[in-house]
Amino acid sequence: MENIESYLSEILEIPKEAVSSCSSFYHTRKVSKNEYLLREGEVCRETFFVEKGLLRMFSIDKNGKEHIIQFAPEKWLMSDRSSLYFNEKSNYFIEAVEDSEVLLLENDFFVRLVEQYPQTVENNDLLLQKHIRNLQNRLNSLLAETAEERYMNFIKMYPDILLRVPQWMVASYLGITPESLSRVRKELARKNFQPS
């Protein structure tokens, strides 16, 4: 559980000697590629921490087209916050893109952490504010940026997963067709751009 331990000690600043005691706040699940952790219409009961692997969250519109909202590689959290916190049926699917090892954090995970380790309040709040900022930036990107700018932002946000997902998923995340993504990549190649 190397990733959750570093997340708890480095990000939330829980003392290293106390990190192992936090294991009672979550349980581990191995998820196969294409297996769902959440389906549309279900109520989300946990937040998923990716110890190993890759998840995606998406919706399907009335025409059957998928719209990828978010990817979650190692050390990322994923959840339908609206469903989780307001006990509403989810509008989303959460699926494993690769064979993954996921930690299921109960609904009150962060509340229990704060009760036991009050010093985590500030860092927890900062993480929430960063999440909101990322959502606002993503919304603005979809509304106001070119396909090329959105692709560049994708590479910055997810530098390690470009080769881990099929191009149609990248296109879905960017809100463009695979053909448009191919054109963007060709144009960037013409400019000698190399993703790092």
From 24, 84, 78, select the one nearest 53 (Cα to Cα).
78
Query: CA-CA distance, 186 to 184, in Å (whole number)?
Result: 5
Residue 50: φ, ψ to 5°: -90, 105
Residue 114: φ, ψ to 5°: -65, -40
**Amino acid making up residue 15:** P
Model pLDDT, residue 165: 96
pLDDT digits (tens, 9 = 90+) for 22-32: 778 889 999 99
pLDDT at 136 over 90: yes
- The contacts of residue 135 (CB under 8 Å, 6+ apart) are none
Which domains does the chain carry? 2-120 (2.60.120.10)
pLDDT digits (tens, 9 = 90+) for 94-107: 999 999 999 999 88
Q: Per-residue DSSP letters for 43-91?
A: BP-EEEEEEES-EEEEEE-TTS-EEEEEEE-TT-EE--HHHHHHTPBPS
Confidence band, pLDDT 50/70/90 cuts, at residue 5: confident
Identify the sign of the CA torsion 10, 158, 110, 38: negative
Confidence band, pLDDT 50/70/90 cuts, at residue 13: confident
More confident residue, 15 or 157: 157
Cβ atoms of 32 and 96 closer than 8 Å: yes
Cβ atoms of 93 and 195 closer than 8 Å: no
Average pLDDT over residues 129-154: 92
Beta strands in the chain (DSSP E): 26-31, 36-38, 46-52, 55-60, 66-72, 77-78, 93-96, 100-106
Point out the least confidently predicted range of 6-10, 44-48, 64-68, 77-81: 6-10
**Amino acid making up residue 171:** A
Model pLDDT, residue 173: 96
